[in-house]
Amino acid sequence: MIIVMKHGAADTEVDAVVSKIREAGLREHVSRGAELTIIGAIGDEGKLSPAHFEMMPGVDRATRVVKQYKIVSRDTHPQGSIINIRGIPLGGEQIQVIAGPCSIETQEQMDIAADAVAAAGCSMMRGGAFKPRTSPYAFQGLGVEGLEIFQQAARSHNLPIVTELMDVRMLDTFIEHDVDVIQIGARNMQNFDLLKEVGRVNKPVILKRGLSATISEWLMSAEYIAAGGNHNIIFCERGIRTFETAYRNVLDITAIPVLKRETHLPVIVDPSHAGGKAWMVPALAQAAVAAGADGLLIEMHPNPCEAWCDADQALSPQELKQLMVTLSAIATAVGRKL
């Protein structure tokens, strides 16, 4: 930790900071310049809080040197991690596309959707059985019945399933219904009790970025999961809320290379929730692959006009198939494959 003293700080104030460092079992390194005195705390800085130093007389600011997100940091694992999802590698050379409808509606709808996902060449299928909706009167999902419908549809093509967990009380139900990848939605990114619980299971977890979350907050949320023992974490950028109203959310393409630098874990992108309109999805998906994303989470519905949820942003089966061709070309251009 680095503690910067105020200009003209007294020797007694410097000595007080040094004493506090020693009390925690760390060593100090004092550098006295013409204008400022800077004190370095050497040792396990986890024992120290920057806030405690900043309240002390003569202290201007205190900053950690070691990142608080230790397990998910690339510093502790220089090589990128590959998450194994029923034999499908997420991370590394191959880019994976997860596609399917926003919500599970009927068995017929999911059967047709599974056929389309497989025909397009996607490796996994998404679908919502429990839906967080802005309005309490909107369709909230079929619940457990939806999980059963989903598994029956996906099983016919041996597609691993991805679905959102909203309530910690449903975690055991997800395990019983053999959900392959648990998704934590944007609204629950900082639901720490939920993160702790998914940290205790041996299931891959997609952690979506909160609507207004910083990269650091997002990484710390992942650390909650990793601290519980589950290191099978996948970051998902889905757009952040800004002042702009021309589209649903702002897809933060910059987050992809920043995360790839900060963490060894895979990074995927949800272009559907970012743009909020089907016509935007191809461009955003292509940009994500070009920027280094390890995968995409795309909404596709057999008949978007009749979708019960997020109809505007769902691709048709034919549009998904066309997009996969373009994405394959971009993946090749950046030295990867689809």
Written as six digits, the tokens of 20 are: 């506090």
Best CA proximity match to 159, nearest among 204, 207, 216, 115: 115
Task: Look up the CATH number of domain 74-333.
Answer: 3.20.20.70
The DSSP string of 266-305 is -EEE-HHHHH-SGGGHHHHHHHHHHHT-SEEEEEB-SSGG
Q: Answer whether 0.95 is exceeded by the pTM.
A: no
Q: Name the residue ranges covered by the structural domains of the chain.
A: 2-63, 74-333
Using an 8 Å Cβ cutoff, are 2 and 62 in contact? Answer: yes
Closest CA to 198 of 221, 218, 220: 221
Q: Indicate the pairing of strand 59-63 with strand 2-5.
A: antiparallel
137 pLDDT tier (thresholds 50, 70, 90): low
Question: How many Å apart are CA 263 and CA 269, to the nearest integer?
Answer: 16
Tell whether the model's pLDDT for residue 140 goes beyond 70: no
Which comes out higher in pLDDT, residue 147 or 135? 147
CA dihedral 295, 159, 140, 177 (to 10 degrees): -120
Tell me whether domains 2-63 and 74-333 share a fold: no
Sign of the dihedral through C-alpha 252, 79, 193, 149: positive
CATH code that applies to domain 2-63: 3.30.70.1140
- Render pLDDT for 17-73 as a digit per residue (tens, 0 to 9): 999 999 999 988 898 887 889 998 888 777 888 999 999 999 999 988 777 788 898
Q: For residue 92, how far is the Cα from the chain centroid? A: 17
**73-116 pLDDT tens trace:** 888 788 899 999 999 999 999 999 999 999 999 999 999 999 99
Q: What is the pLDDT of residue 34?
A: 79
pLDDT, tens only, 198-251:
999 999 999 999 999 999 999 999 999 999 999 999 999 999 999 988 888 999
